[in-house]
Amino acid sequence: MFKDKNSSENTDLLNREWELIFNAVPDSIAIIDTDFRIIKVNKAMVEFLKIDAQDILGKHCYSLIHSQNEPHFLCPHEMMLKDLKPHAEEFHENNVNKDLIVSVSPIFDDGELKGSVHIVHDDTQRKQLEKTNERLADIVRHSNDAIISKDLNGIITSWNLGAEKIYGYSAQEILGKNISTLIPPGNADESFILEKIKNNQEIKNYEAQRADKNGDIIQVSINISPINDSDGNIVGASTIARDITEMHSAKIALKENEEKFREVFNNANDAFFLHKIVDGLPGKFFDVNKVACERLGYSKEELLNLGPQDINTPDIKNMMPQRMDNLQRNGKSTFESFNITKTGKIIPVEISADIFELNGEEIVFSIARDISAHIKAENDIKESERKYRKIFDNMQDVFYQIFNNGLISEISPSIYRYSGFTREELIGKQVESVYSNPDDRQILLETINQKGEISDYEVKLKNKDNELLYVSTNAHPWLDKNNNVIGIEGSLRDITERKKMENELRNVLQEKEMLLKEIHHRVKNNLMIISSLLELQSQDIQDKDDLKLFKESQARADSMALIHERLYQSTDLKHINFGEYIETLANSLFNTYVMDESLIKLDLNVENIMLDINTAIPLGLIVNELITNSMKHAFPDGHQGEIKINFTRKDDKLFLEVFDNGVGLPEDLDIRNTTSLGLQIVNSLTSQIDGDLILDTENGTSFRIIFKEEKFNT
């Protein structure tokens, strides 16, 4: 029988083509028989195992790949031998430190299983990118800052927990709405933001007002960056907003008490410089911060002998006259520059400069922010990583992960700006070593265990120079893929400057309280001196009517002195418990004017109501006049009876009543048109507190005053 020459040549050609294709495949391929022995491998498998092909063939696959004497527990080839079906498994191979996807397909010959095609795909790079992406996404989710994405029409497309905390809207409530929802009515036109984004420009540290869900105004600092798709087209913008309302309010309060703090810049993460203006040009630095020294490589003493001309590139030096002129005309300026370190390294920076006056001289305060960092992307996963990395680089918070045993697993590089420690110096170290008091660590863990998570929890740490560092931290349990708690993770923020401002404000308030106490004390003393002078003067007065006037004036001075005495003794220097005041004043007047206490009963029904001093003083004089009038005139010649004083609140109104069942008032008395000085005082002071005076003589004599307490500004 003769062999077909063309058929043989075709078979050889097909075999050669199959061999070329087999070796050209980038995945590692092996043919394995039913005894787990390797029959054939392609070039990719040889390179993967780093063993010569002749040393591979005939060996058991599990001994070469897994260094085991039996198949791997996830071996898809073993599964295929049982059910004669294709299988695929994903696992991490420690021998080569790679994430692999292994698939097998059975090989049959006339219905008999001969082995399998074994394909190994290296999935390490994709896995690493996924982990990086997940980590950065977790940082975004748990950031204190509001991180928002929107399209070019301003429609909100993403919303993190920080945004929900700051603005009050949940993601379900806000997604799909326009960003203008957060802008208060009448706010400055911000259309320039969209134009900059469309021109692929970033916006740094833009301070603006925003409105939360309740309509309350929030002061925020915003960084905005364009979002590009994989083709480089601008499709939207990413916004990072930090709530600086509290810091903004603290700055305003400090400005009212100390000129120096009106010019303090709150971002201590950047380099800042202070210098005078000499003949229209910057003079030498007279103060710099630690970041400036570390970034430029000079000691502080060295920098104080230099000026802006010495740390900038030649082209920037040539622009200084123009920039100084612009700064002097506008009072502030923002521009990009290039600093030169002591070793000659060039660092691109963004400069924010302000002019203020100190001791009659113009001073320039400059803040330099390093803008040299860049992020690159190559595919969809890298594009996502690039977006999150850009957000991460703009964040000032520090992200951390700490194992249950206290070892620091991960911490973001921004920790260096706060503490002086580099990331490398801290990873693997015990976290207690950076606590000011190591026992505080256990208290923090107990709090997380009780609440599930913590927010804005204050902790005292120490920096590399062993100085006290105040931080605010958010933290929650750190879970592995099986939801086992392996530690805690979260973020922290440096609040050292805020704590300093709070302490200074507290000291200023304490000084004001002491001063106000002293004022009340001195006013009381002065009124008592007036009362004593009236008492001394009255001793020489023979005329009873004149003596009566002196005694009444003395009583009025005493009633006002009593109010200031109560305020001096109180912890609240603006309000007085008027119920207690009435009791003290009424008993004092009773002892003064009632000679026989068995004849007159004093009945007090007064509530403990706090009144502003501006209301308490006129009302105190009214009470004095009405009680004195009843005690002096209602019960002549030994008449018996009672005096009732009621002071109550109902809803937003206050009710004062002085009642007696004595002889009553003259029938023709017009209380609004009388020659009685006491009633004239009562009428005048009732109008002063915007009250209504009502006289009821049907069942005795009742003076009722109804009023609302006016809220006074201090």
More confident residue, 631 or 407: 407
More confident residue, 666 or 657: 657
Give the pLDDT score at 239: 86
More confident residue, 528 or 652: 652
Sign of the alpha-carbon torsion through 184, 190, 191, 195: negative
Cβ–Cβ < 8 Å for 646, 657: yes
Question: How many alpha carbons lie under 13 Å from residue 360 in its C-beta half-sphere?
Answer: 0
d(CA 385, CA 375): 9
Cβ–Cβ < 8 Å for 298, 304: no
d(CA 577, CA 523): 19
Tell me the pLDDT band of 714, cut-offs 50, 70 and 90: very low
State how far Cα 618 lies from the chain centre: 44
d(CA 31, CA 385): 38
Q: Which helix (H) or strand (E) holds 363?
A: strand 361-370
CA 40 vs CA 24, 78, 103, 196, 636: distances in Å: 14, 18, 16, 60, 130
- Angle, vertex CA 535, rays to CA 530 and CA 537, nearest 5: 95
Mean pLDDT of 544-569: 64
Give the pLDDT score at 266: 37
User: Comparing C-alpha atoms, which of 288, 306, 371 is closest to residue 342?
Assistant: 306
Residue 159: pLDDT over 60: yes
Residue 547: pLDDT over 70: no
In the sheet with 641-650, reading across from the earlier edge strand, the strands are: 600-606, 641-650, 653-660, 701-707, 692-696
N- to C-terminal Cα separation, the chain: 120
Residue 133: pLDDT over 80: no
- What is the full DSSP assignment across 121-147? EE-HHHHHHHHHHHHHHHHHHT-SSEE
Mean pLDDT of 186-210: 81
Question: How many alpha carbons lie under 13 Å from residue 364 in its C-beta half-sphere?
Answer: 30
Phi/psi of residue 683, each to 5°?
-60, -45
CB atoms within 10 A of CB 62: 17
As a three-state string, the secondary structure of 440-493 is HHHHHHHHHHHHCCEEEEEEEEECCCCCEEEEEEEEEEEECCCCCEEEEEEEEE
Which 8-state DSSP code applies to residue 304?
A: T
Cβ–Cβ < 8 Å for 679, 665: no
What totals of helices (H) and strands (E) does the chain contain, helices first? Answer: 21, 27
Which value, in Å, is the radius of gyration of the alpha carbons in the chain?
42
User: Comparing C-alpha atoms, which of 64, 73, 117 is closest to residue 95?
Assistant: 64
pLDDT in tens, 585-620: 888 788 877 778 888 899 999 999 888 878 877 888
Both tokens of residue 197?
């984004």
User: Comparing C-alpha atoms, which of 370, 365, 373 is closest to residue 333?
Assistant: 365
- Angle, vertex CA 52, rays to CA 46 and CA 53, nearest 5: 65
Residue 378: pLDDT over 50: no
- What is the full DSSP assignment across 238-275? EEEEEE-HHHHHHHHHHHHH-GGGGG--S-TTSEEEEE
- Strands 641-650, 600-606: pairing is parallel
Give the pLDDT score at 560: 64
Sign of the alpha-carbon torsion through 316, 322, 327, 332: negative
Give the pLDDT score at 592: 74
Residue 430: pLDDT over 80: yes
Mean pLDDT of 401-427: 87
d(CA 499, CA 497): 5
Cβ–Cβ < 8 Å for 389, 136: yes
User: Comparing C-alpha atoms, which of 562, 567, 566, 555 is closest to residue 531?
Assistant: 555
Q: Which helix (H) or strand (E) holds 358?
A: strand 346-358
Give the pLDDT score at 187: 74
Sign of the alpha-carbon torsion through 298, 300, 305, 311: positive
Residue 1: pLDDT over 50: no
Both tokens of residue 37?
């022995």
Tell me the pLDDT band of 5, cut-offs 50, 70 and 90: low
Tell me the pLDDT band of 190, cut-offs 50, 70 and 90: confident
d(CA 264, CA 250): 11
State how far Cα 567 lies from the chain centre: 37
Residue type, 709: E
CB atoms within 10 A of CB 248: 17
Which domains does the chain show, CATH number per domain? Answer: 15-122 (3.30.450.20), 128-247 (3.30.450.20), 265-370 (3.30.450.20), 397-494 (3.30.450.20), 502-707 (3.30.565.10)
Cβ–Cβ < 8 Å for 563, 522: no
Q: Which CB contacts under 8 angstroms, 24+ apart, belong to 509-516? A: 513/573, 516/573
Give the pLDDT score at 477: 93
Q: Helices 544-569 and 496-538, interaxial angle, to 10°?
A: 160
CA 372 vs CA 175, 314, 350, 368: distances in Å: 33, 19, 10, 12
Q: Comparing 16-30, 132-146, 432-446, 509-523, which segment has the lowest mean pLDDT?
A: 509-523
Residue 383: pLDDT over 70: no
Give the pLDDT score at 301: 92
Tokens 């709530």 belong to which residue? Answer: 243
Cβ–Cβ < 8 Å for 693, 652: no
Top-ranked range on mean pLDDT: pick from 187-196, 239-248, 386-395:
239-248
Tokens 């009444």 belong to which residue? Answer: 552
Q: Which helix (H) or strand (E) holds 399?
A: strand 398-403
**Percentage of the chain exceeding pLDDT 70:** 80
Give the pLDDT score at 712: 46
Tell me the pLDDT band of 645, cut-offs 50, 70 and 90: very high
Give the pLDDT score at 2: 39
Q: Helices 544-569 and 613-633, interaxial angle, to 10°?
A: 140
**Percentage of the chain exceeding pLDDT 90:** 9
State how far Cα 262 lies from the chain centre: 21
More confident residue, 553 or 642: 642
- Tell me the pLDDT of the chain averaged across its residues: 80
Q: Comparing 38-42, 57-61, 89-93, which segment has the lowest mean pLDDT?
A: 89-93
Q: Comparing 470-474, 497-501, 514-518, which segment has the lowest mean pLDDT?
A: 514-518
pLDDT in tens, 244-265: 877 776 666 655 555 444 344 3
Residue 11: pLDDT over 80: no
Tell me the pLDDT band of 563, cut-offs 50, 70 and 90: low
Both tokens of residue 404?
């249950």
Both tokens of residue 562?
């009593």
Length of the chain: 714
Both tokens of residue 114?
């001969």
d(CA 40, CA 28): 11
More confident residue, 281 or 391: 281
Report CA dihedral (225, 230, 231, 236) to the nearest 10 degrees: -30
More confident residue, 112 or 187: 112
Mean pLDDT of 432-456: 89
CA 309 vs CA 272, 284, 315: distances in Å: 15, 9, 10
d(CA 251, CA 56): 73
Mean pLDDT of 49-56: 82
Residue 469: pLDDT over 70: yes
Cβ–Cβ < 8 Å for 49, 65: yes
More confident residue, 380 or 102: 102
Give the pLDDT score at 374: 43
